[in-house]
Amino acid sequence: MEGKEDNALIGVKEIARRANVSLGTVDRVINNRAGVAVKTRNRVNAIIQELNYQPNVLARRLALTSRGTLRVAVLLPDISEETEYWKAPLEGINKADLEIRQYGVQVEYYFFDQNVQSVFAEQVDRIMENAPDGVLITPTFEKESIALMKFCKRKKIPCVLMNSDIPEQQRLCYIGPELFDSGYLSGQLVHYCLKPGQKAMIVNIAREIENNVAILRKEDGFMAYFREKLSEEQLVHLNMRDTGYAAVAGRLTGLLEEHPQIGIIYVTNSRVSLVAEWLESIERSDIVLIGYDYLDKNLDYLKRGIIDFLLCEKPQEQGYRGVMSLFQYLIFSATVQEDYLIPIDIVTSANYRYYRN
């Protein structure tokens, strides 16, 4: 029907078109300025009422239309079989993108290989060169992320951090889990499961471990729990920069031979499926396995009891809220909550069916 079709046409240009007037005339009507004939003013107001526009929203959108499109740069890891996790935040970002296009806001995507710091640096340079109106980043590598944040501060560009935070750096807001607490919670889980005489193993699997903000903060939290409640002597450490299965399995086999008392393994990221594959191959269902993220591979091992606990942090919501925070700030000058901390959920074979990313 015509009414439904008209309601779908959103924008101040549509009001101007219907009233057969200029955008400037619509602006004067909205702001109750002089210079508009009574008949024209009534016609414009009738159209505004028919379309159910709120004047304050319309005024901001008119100003936006006059100055052109606002650009929001999004920097996050590319999706691959190895990095399936990032599919969820990208879906959240895409959802927000569709919702805000009608306001003249354009999302620009910058992807990087989270195993290659140089690619991240190149994308940071591109963002600074293009100087967007807002920035949403996953600060995988701290040095380059800080450089971008300082650039945004100088240029008065609002910057939102997603998934991991960088303490003591100025940003509009952070949306994601408290990573230190995530590691601390993992230490608590290990403590509950640790039997007398057993050791626990903490496993970091990433090519750039020493520069990976998320892994380092989780490890800090995990180690803090052990120092407070247990003993570091009960821990075995493994840092794997080769993320291939054969390399990971070989190192794990060697460490298990060296430390046969290992009863629990904690993996600091979504690559817990590599450890699960190894445990299944050696038929060790007695070792408790804890890792991250609601991914298909991980869920398969969770269902079969090889992974015992998955810590999940609603990545789709993180992506959606990241873009919408910038939108609210840029379009409506809304006050944005400085820290929007996502709950750290513990998913098991008993409750995974009810979880939503």
Mean pLDDT computed over every residue of the chain = 89
Q: Report the C-alpha gap between 100 and 58 in whole angstroms.
A: 14
CATH for 2-67?
Answer: 1.10.260.40
Predicted pLDDT of residue 114: 85
Per residue in 202-240, pLDDT (tens digit) is 999 998 888 888 999 999 999 999 999 999 999 999 999
Q: Which CATH architecture has domain 70-177+315-343?
A: 3-Layer(aba) Sandwich (3.40)
Q: Report the C-alpha gap between 309 and 266 in whole angstroms.
A: 10
Alpha-carbon separation of residue 194 from 232, 254, 337 (angstroms): 14, 21, 39
Predicted pLDDT of residue 8: 32
Q: What percent of the chain has pLDDT over 90?
A: 70
Q: Report the C-alpha gap between 160 and 357 in whole angstroms.
A: 20
Helix 12-19 with 23-30: angle, nearest 10 deg: 100
Q: Phi/psi at 39 (nearest 5 deg)?
A: -65, -40
Q: Phi/psi at 333 (nearest 5 deg)?
A: 55, 35
Q: Is 82 helix (H, G, I), strand (E, B) or coil?
A: coil
**Least confident residue range of 16-20, 257-261, 318-322:** 16-20
Per residue in 65-103, pLDDT (tens digit) is 555 678 999 999 998 666 688 999 999 999 999 988 877
Give the residue, 232 or 28, on which the prediction is more confident: 232
**Least confident residue range of 262-276, 284-298, 332-346:** 332-346
Q: Phi/psi at 131 (nearest 5 deg)?
A: 45, 70
CATH for 179-312?
Answer: 3.40.50.2300
Q: In the numeric block, which tokens belong to residue 313?
A: 């942090």
Predicted pLDDT of residue 5: 35
Per residue in 286-333, pLDDT (tens digit) is 999 999 999 999 999 999 999 999 999 999 999 999 999 999 898 877
CATH 1.10.260.40 segments of the chain: 2-67
CATH 3.40.50.2300 segments of the chain: 70-177+315-343, 179-312
Predicted pLDDT of residue 183: 98
Q: Report the C-alpha gap between 118 and 98 in whole angstroms.
A: 31
CA nearest to 299, candidates 251, 354, 237: 354
Q: Is 160 helix (H, G, I), strand (E, B) or coil?
A: strand
